[in-house]
Amino acid sequence: MGLFNWFTQEIAMDLGTANTLIIHNEEVVVNEPSIVALDRNNLKTVLAVGKRALMMHEKTHESIRTIRPLKDGVIADFNAAELMIREMIKMIYPKKPLFPPSWRMMICIPSSITEVEKRAVRDSAEQAGAKEVYLLHEPMAAALGIGIDVEEPVGNMIIDIGGGTTGITVIALAGIVCDQSIRIAGDEFTADIMEALRRYHSLLIGERTAEQIKIQIGAAMKDLETPPDDIPVNGRDLVTGIPKQIMVSYQEVAEALDKSIFKIEEAILKALETTPPELAADIYRRGLYLTGGGALLRGLDKRLSQKIKLPVHVADDPLKSVVRGTGIALKNYQRFPFIMR
C-alpha cells in the first residue's frame, strides 16, 4: 500500500461550463477555458485545448471542430469531455514522467445534478486516468474556498454564478439545507449581449466578442460610481452585410442583462422563502456570499443588496474560490462527511 501511495498524486478539479481549473500541490496549475478543438475526420485527435482552442472557436474551417463539452454545468459531450480532462491533466507535467502517477481526483459538480450526470463525470475522470474519484457539491467547495467554517451550526447562503448555472444554496452543519438552481448565468449573459446588439444596432457579433464586452464593460446597474469607458465593437452589419464598428457603453450592457439578473434575484428570494427561520436569522446577520465568474459583474453586489436588503459580500477571488475549496476538501477527504465516494 505504501508503494501505491508513493505514486498517487492528488488533484482537485473545478470542471466548469466556461473554465476548468486544477489544483495540484496546493497551487492552481491549470486555469483554462473548457473548450477543445478536434479533427473532424478523426474525433479522437485533439488539435488544441483551453486558450488555444478558444482562439480557434467560431473561426474554424470544415475539418476542425471546436466543442464545449459542458453545458449548464453538466457533461453534454462525453468523448470531448474525456479528451479535454486528459489533455488538461497532461498540462500539469509538461515533461512526460517516467512512471505516470495514478491520480486521486476530487471534482466538484453542481448540486442540482442527476445520478446519470454524476455518473458521466465519474466515468470521464476514470477514462482520463483517475484511480480514485471523489465528488463534491460546488456550493460546499465555494464555502470552503471563501473561508467559511461549514461544520458549525450556522446558516450561510452561497450564490455561485458560474458559466452555465447559478446555484443558490443555504449551508449549515456540513450539509446543504435548501438549494435553488437556475440555468441563467454567464453564458446567458453573453447571449443577451449578442441579442441586444443585433436588435438595437443590427450588428451581428460572435460569442467571443460578446464575452469580451461582458468582461470589459459588463455591469448590473446603469449608475456606477466608477463607470468603465465605452469600447469599440466590431461585427457584421445585418443590413448591408459589410463589417462595421460601433461604440458600446456599459449602460447598454446593463440594460441587456437586466432581465437575466432579475431572474437571479427572483431565485434568491425563492430560496430565502424556503429557508428555515433559525437559519434565516443567521443569514440576516451574516449576509449573502457571491462567488463564481458572474460575481465580477460591476455593481451586481450593490443591486442584489438593494433588492434583498441584506449585505452581499463578494469573495476575494471569485473565479478560484470553488477550486480552492475543492483543494481543501481533498486534503481532508477522510474527515468531511459531505464528500461523495
- Give the per-residue SS3 of 265-323: HHHHHHHHHCCCHHHHHHHHHHCEEEECHHHHCECHHHHHHHHHCCCEEECCCCCCHHH
Residues 238 and 326 grouped into a single domain: no
Report whether 248 contacts 217 (CB < 8 A). yes
**CA 65 to chain centroid:** 23
Instruction: Provide the number of structural domains found in the chain.
Output: 3
Helix ranges (DSSP H) in the chain: 2-7, 51-56, 78-90, 115-127, 138-146, 186-201, 207-217, 250-273, 277-286, 300-308, 321-331
Question: Which amino acids are annotated as binding site for ATP, given as ranges?
Answer: 17-19, 163-165, 211-214, 293-296
Residues 121 and 203 grouped into a single domain: no
In a domain, 3, yes or no: no
Residues 205 and 99 grouped into a single domain: no
The pLDDT value recorded for residue 69 is 94
Nearest to 103 by CA among 80, 136, 126: 126
Residues 266 and 194 grouped into a single domain: no
List the CATH number of the domain containing 232: 3.90.640.10
In a domain, 337, yes or no: no
Using the 3D structure, point to which of 256, 276, 291 is the last residue of a domain: 256
Place of cell 449573459: 189
In a domain, 338, yes or no: no
Residues 136 and 196 grouped into a single domain: no
Residues 159 and 267 grouped into a single domain: yes
Residues 151 and 300 grouped into a single domain: yes
List the CATH number of the domain containing 48: 3.30.420.40
Residues 136 and 154 grouped into a single domain: no
In a domain, 228, yes or no: yes
Residues 106 and 173 grouped into a single domain: no
Using the 3D structure, point to which of 211, 237, 256 is the last residue of a domain: 256
In a domain, 157, yes or no: yes
312-314 and 102-109 beta bridge pairing: unpaired
Nearest to 194 by CA among 182, 185, 180, 207: 207
In a domain, 131, yes or no: yes
Residues 20 and 81 grouped into a single domain: yes
Question: Which amino acids are annotated as binding site, given as ranges?
Answer: 17-19, 163-165, 211-214, 293-296
Helix ranges (DSSP H) in 9-77: 51-56
DSSP class of 250: H
CA distance 15 to 33: 10
CA pseudo-torsion sign 42, 14, 59, 56: negative
In a domain, 42, yes or no: yes
Average confidence score pLDDT of the chain: 92
Residues 180 and 192 grouped into a single domain: no
- Which DSSP string do the residues of 204-223 spell out, in sequence order? E--HHHHHHHHHHH-BS-S-
In a domain, 341, yes or no: no
Over the stretch 28-39, which tens digit does the pLDDT of each residue have?
Answer: 999 999 999 999
Which residues span the domain enclosing 92? 8-141+322-332
CA distance 130 to 335: 21
Which regions in the chain score pLDDT beneath 50?
Answer: 1
Residues 56 and 172 grouped into a single domain: no
